[in-house]
Amino acid sequence: MQNREGFRIIAKRGAVCFDTTQYMREVNDLYQISYQQFLTLFDTAIVHSESSAVMASLGYTQPADSRILQAKKPFDWMTDEQFHNLQVLANHFEWFQEVFERMPRDGREAQWRLLCDSEMPETVTLPDKLGDKKLFKPMQRLCVVRAVRSDRLMQASTSLFINQVLGKK
* CA-atom Rg of the chain in angstroms: 18
- pLDDT, mean of residues 12-40: 78
Instruction: Locate all alpha helices (DSSP H) within 28-148, ordered by sequence.
Output: 35-47, 52-57, 66-69, 80-92, 94-102, 109-117, 138-148
**Packed helices 35-47 and 2-27: angle between N→C axes, nearest 10 degrees:** 130
Q: What is the DSSP letter of 137?
A: -
- pLDDT, mean of residues 157-166: 78
Band of the pLDDT at 41, cuts 50, 70, 90? confident
| Residue extents of the structural domains in the chain | 2-57, 66-166
For residue 148, pLDDT over 50 is answered with: yes
Tens of pLDDT, residues 96-114: 888 888 888 877 888 889 8
